[in-house]
Amino acid sequence: MKKKTSTSLLLGLLATSLVAAPCYGSATQKKISAAQNTQQENQKQLDNAQGRIDSLESKKNDLEGYLKELNQQLSELGENLQEIQTQSEEKQTELEKLEKELAKAQEKEKEQYDSMKLRIQYMYENSDNSYMTLLLEADSFTDFLSQAENMTEMTKYDRRMLEEYKETTEEIKEKEESIKKEQEELENLKQESLDKQDEITAVVKSTRGQIATYESQISAEQTSAKALLSKIESQKNTIDNLIKQQKDEEAAQILAEKQEQNSASSQNNSGASQETTQPSTPESQDNSQNQNSQSQQEESTTPPAQQEDSQNESQGKYLGNFKLTGYCNCEKCGGHSSGLTASGTTPVQGRTIAMGGVPFGTKLLINGNVYTVEDRGVPYAHVDIYFNSHEEALQFGTSSADVYQVN
């Protein structure tokens, strides 16, 4: 009867624990869900902020490229203006030279004209006397003709020289006009370049102002993103702590269930021993002897549940049944470009794991192997095991295992 009572008690305890089991950590789970929802909302805001930052950066980069082109145009305009200025100065020098030449030619023309005018006037006024004098003074008629011809040639020479001086003067004037025209064209080009320079300078100023506006907006968005990122990191820690609390509650519940099972099993064994001590018939005595023998065997052997508790204690603190995955240092796995872990160590296969919620250096026993927490990237209760290659990490896949914190 006592054996049945003990068995009923054990079944009752198991039933109670099974009914109560789903209820543990429900309040913690609600907190986890609320924290995760808040984190997701902040992450969404962070993504939107990052999107705005990327858009502003793109616009800023476009304007900086445009500004570079404008500065290049200003540089070319400056060079053109310098070239125009050089040409204008050269033309001015040439014009001054021509003006001096023109003044000399005009002066010579005037002198030639005045000389010719005097000779013509003299010859006109004394034409009769001149020819009479030539005739009387000539040694012969041939000499007279020769001197008369010389007078005619002199007159022709005067006219020819006058014409040449006039032509020279006109040529110099034409060159002068041409140079003045070129100077005017150069001045027009110079003014156009200056106007273009002013226009581009105004655009450059406006572009720089717009770039400054974008930089200010980017700075504001980055400040907002930094604040959101800080919130997300804080929420990650909160979630890790809540998950750790939940897992601790689960582990405590499991240990409590095992203790209840051990207690019920002990009571059952005790009841069976008492039954064997009561007086009975010879037949019952034989049975009692058999039960005593079994009881002695049971007393000499620790119950399996107690053996498991003893084994768990030797393995360390039971943390719970955790999710296991694999990762490596490649970009697909989000590895660090430096090749180091978040704690600054060099990852080693068979030693390095990543998990949040516990300090760096924490040692965890998983499937008989002791690992060290040296990296981050996953929350508490999710263990990411380091592998040397991406293929090994993929091959490891996803699984779960009981995890113990080594003392």
**Per residue in 42-75, pLDDT tens?**
999 999 999 999 999 999 999 999 999 999 988 8
How large is the average pLDDT for residues 231-260?
85
Stated pTM of the model? 0.53
pLDDT band per the 50, 70, 90 thresholds, residue 186: confident
Reduced to 3 states (helix: H, G, I; strand: E, B; else coil), residue 403 is: strand
Which is more confidently placed, 68 or 282?
Answer: 68
pLDDT band per the 50, 70, 90 thresholds, residue 284: very low
What pLDDT shows up at residue 263? 82
Closest to 193 measured CA to CA, from 104, 81, 93: 81
Which is more confidently placed, 134 or 368?
Answer: 368
pLDDT band per the 50, 70, 90 thresholds, residue 226: very high
Please give the structure tokens belonging to residue 227. 């604040």
Closest to 213 measured CA to CA, from 372, 60, 9, 41: 60
Span of 14-18, 77-81, 92-96, 206-210 with lowest mean pLDDT: 14-18
Give the residues across from 375 on adjacent strands.
354
What pLDDT shows up at residue 120? 62
Kindly tell me if the per-residue pLDDT of 31 is higher than 50: yes
pLDDT band per the 50, 70, 90 thresholds, residue 98: confident
What pLDDT shows up at residue 377? 86
What pLDDT shows up at residue 339? 82
Percent of the chain having pLDDT more than 70? Answer: 71
Q: Exposed (0-12), middle (13-18) or buried (19+): which is 56, by Cβ within 10 Å?
A: buried
Q: In degrees to the nearest 10, what's the CA dihedral of 243, 17, 403, 337?
A: -20
In angstroms, the CA 301 to CA 87 distance is 114
Name the DSSP letter for residue 21. Answer: G
Closest to 181 measured CA to CA, from 79, 98, 103, 83: 98
Reduced to 3 states (helix: H, G, I; strand: E, B; else coil), residue 319 is: strand
In angstroms, the CA 2 to CA 290 distance is 18
What pLDDT shows up at residue 96? 83
Kindly tell me if the per-residue pLDDT of 15 is higher than 80: no
Residues recorded for the chain? 407
Percent of the chain having pLDDT more than 90? Answer: 32
Kindly tell me if the per-residue pLDDT of 187 is higher than 90: no
